[in-house]
């Protein structure tokens, strides 16, 4: 997805930093609950959901952020849900591609909340936060039971402090809340992202943002923040990047983990483009799971925050059923090895294109880092 490319001092690494309701214990209890249930392929890809499954999603494992905040291990992504941003890669192709009416973001998020999702991943760029806010209001889910993340887009980052503050106010108004649990710098806009990060830190002090993070940051972008005087206390708590077995940037991920930064994964399911992969199919047959569920399980088992998205409720339900089985070490290693050198090069090309995207420098390489850690 082009739009998103898409701890205390003693906090353990994210792969181990899971709340008292750990992924391992969650798996064990889930398997126990489902031992007597049907395991037919039809049941696997159900379009309905049992009350137990919904409650399991509501009570999903969490990963602690640096201040002890519990970050749900799974969330619902809202990119291209009810709205396709003008500069999205598929916008032109999608225009006129179908006469079928698109479901609104309000409808989709309503389904997600009714299915048990409590972490909503939003963004200025997604263009649908007002619709998301309508769904939140109508759901009746208490605000304290939700974890809401938003991101500030490149155009606003480039404009600076006043624009960022105004955009956050709009986001809060659209979402119908007084604060967001997590606010991210969407891209490390050259020459602008450090000041933008400092502005968001100020908004945190004002109580409008509970935690501050980044998105699409390379190791070198993060180090630029630190060299600008960002203290240990104010370091990003999250870095949201594309993570899946077909783009597993292990060295980058291990670096951020060593810094106590929790990794959020987008394109966890590769936009549905890998569902015919033989390895995923084989593992799915073994565990009676869909390829999407294998991808999701790989993500949470590595300790990454898993953010699937769909406009279909049956897929929302299916995508969440990843806590009732466990892949072996050998199977995880096999999936880890699916990333090719070409994938790293494709990522690098996208990074160079997108850090200036939609800004006054769009299409140029002005300020773009050309030597970053790509693996």
Nearest to 298 by CA among 272, 280, 271, 273: 280
- Burial class, 90, CB count within 10 angstroms (exposed 0-12 / middle 13-18 / buried 19+): middle
Rounded to 5, what percent of the chain is helix, strand, coil? Answer: 45, 10, 45
- pLDDT confidence of residue 11: 29
Strands of the chain (E only): list them: 62-64, 70-72, 76-77, 119-121, 147-152, 182-185, 212-215, 238-242, 262-266, 305-306
Provide, rounded to the nearest whole percent, the portion of the chain with pLDDT above 90: 81
- pLDDT confidence of residue 22: 56
Q: Is the pLDDT of residue 45 over 50?
A: no
- pLDDT confidence of residue 41: 38
Q: Is the pLDDT of residue 323 over 80?
A: yes
- Domains of the chain: which residue ranges? 2-354
The model's pLDDT over 165-206, given as tens digits with 9 standing for 90+, comes to 999 999 999 999 999 999 999 999 999 999 999 999 999 999
- pLDDT confidence of residue 361: 97
Q: What is the mean pLDDT of residues 50-72?
A: 96
Whole-model pTM: value is 0.88
Nearest to 56 by CA among 26, 13, 77, 80: 26
- pLDDT confidence of residue 88: 83
Q: Which residue has the higher pLDDT, 191 or 8?
A: 191
Q: Catalytic: which of 126, 248, 266, 351?
A: 126
Q: Cβ(241)–Cβ(265) under 8 Å?
A: yes
> What is the DSSP code string of 227-260?
HTT--GGGS-SEEEEE-BTTB--HHHHHHHHHTT
State CA 267 to chain mean position distance.
Answer: 8
Q: Give the domain 2-354 fold.
A: TIM Barrel (3.20.20)
pLDDT class of 48 with cuts at 50, 70, 90: confident
Residue with the two structure tokens 């590769």 = 270
pLDDT class of 101 with cuts at 50, 70, 90: very low
Q: What is the mean pLDDT of residues 27-49?
A: 48
- pLDDT confidence of residue 86: 87
Q: What is the mean pLDDT of residues 117-133?
A: 98
Q: Cβ(296)–Cβ(269) under 8 Å?
A: yes
Q: What is the mean pLDDT of residues 94-117?
A: 79
Tokens of residue 225, six digits: 């923040």
The model's pLDDT over 197-243, given as tens digits with 9 standing for 90+, comes to 999 999 999 999 999 999 999 999 999 999 999 999 999 999 999 99
What pairing do the DSSP bridges indicate for beta strands 70-72 and 262-266? unpaired
Q: What is the mean pLDDT of residues 243-252?
A: 98
Provide, rounded to the nearest whole percent, the portion of the chain with pLDDT above 70: 84
d(CA 365, CA 287): 46
Q: What is the mean pLDDT of residues 324-330?
A: 97
Q: Is the pLDDT of residue 28 over 90?
A: no
Residue with the two structure tokens 């969490």 = 62
- pLDDT confidence of residue 354: 97
Would you call 266 a catalytic residue per the annotation?
A: no
d(CA 75, CA 235): 23
| Least confident stretch, 6-20, 121-135, 151-165 | 6-20
- pLDDT confidence of residue 89: 55
Q: Cβ(113)–Cβ(143) under 8 Å?
A: no
- pLDDT confidence of residue 27: 56
């Amino acid at each position: 997805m082009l739009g998103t490319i898409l701890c205390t001092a003693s906090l353990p690494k994210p792969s181990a930093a899971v709340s008292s309701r750990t992924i391992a214990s969650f798996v064990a209890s889930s398997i126990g609950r489902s031992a007597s249930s049907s395991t037919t392929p039809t049941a696997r890809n159900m379009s309905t959901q049992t009350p137990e499954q919904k409650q399991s999603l509501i009570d999903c494992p969490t990963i602690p952020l640096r201040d002890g905040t519990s970050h749900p291990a799974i969330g619902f992504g809202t990119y291209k849900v009810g709205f396709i941003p003008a500069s999205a890669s598929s916008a032109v192709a999608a225009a006129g591609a179908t006469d079928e009416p698109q479901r609104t973001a309000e409808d989709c998020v309503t389904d997600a909340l009714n299915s048990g999702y409590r972490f909503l991943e939003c963004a200025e760029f997604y263009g649908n936060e007002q619709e998301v806010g309508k769904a939140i209001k109508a759901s009746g889910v208490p605000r304290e039971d939700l974890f809401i993340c938003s991101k500030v887009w490149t155009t606003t980052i480039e404009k600076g402090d006043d624009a960022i503050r105004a955009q956050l106010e709009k986001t809060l108004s659209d979402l119908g809340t007084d604060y967001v649990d997590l606010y991210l710098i969407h891209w490390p806009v050259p020459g602008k992202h450090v000041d933008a990060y400092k502005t968001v830190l100020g908004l945190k002090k004002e109580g409008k943002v509970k935690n501050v993070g980044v998105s699409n940051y390379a190791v070198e972008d993060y180090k630029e923040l630190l060299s600008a005087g960002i203290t240990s206390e104010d370091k990003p708590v999250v870095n949201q990047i594309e993570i899946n077995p077909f783009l597993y940037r292990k060295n980058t991920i291990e670096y951020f983990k060593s810094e106590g930064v929790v990794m959020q994964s987008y394109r966890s399911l590769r936009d549905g483009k890998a569902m015919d992969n033989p390895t995923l199919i084989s593992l799915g047959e073994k565990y009676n799971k869909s390829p999407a569920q294998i991808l999701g399980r790989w993500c949470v088992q590595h300790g990454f925050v898993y953010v699937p998205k769909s406009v279909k409720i049956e897929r929302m339900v299916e995508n969440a059923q990843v806590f009732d089985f466990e892949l072996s070490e050998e199977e995880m290693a096999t999936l880890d090895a699916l990333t090719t050198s070409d994938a790293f090069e494709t990522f690098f090309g996208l990074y160079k294109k997108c850090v200036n995207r939609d800004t006054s420098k769009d299409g140029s390489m002005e300020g773009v880092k050309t030597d970053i850690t790509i693996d």
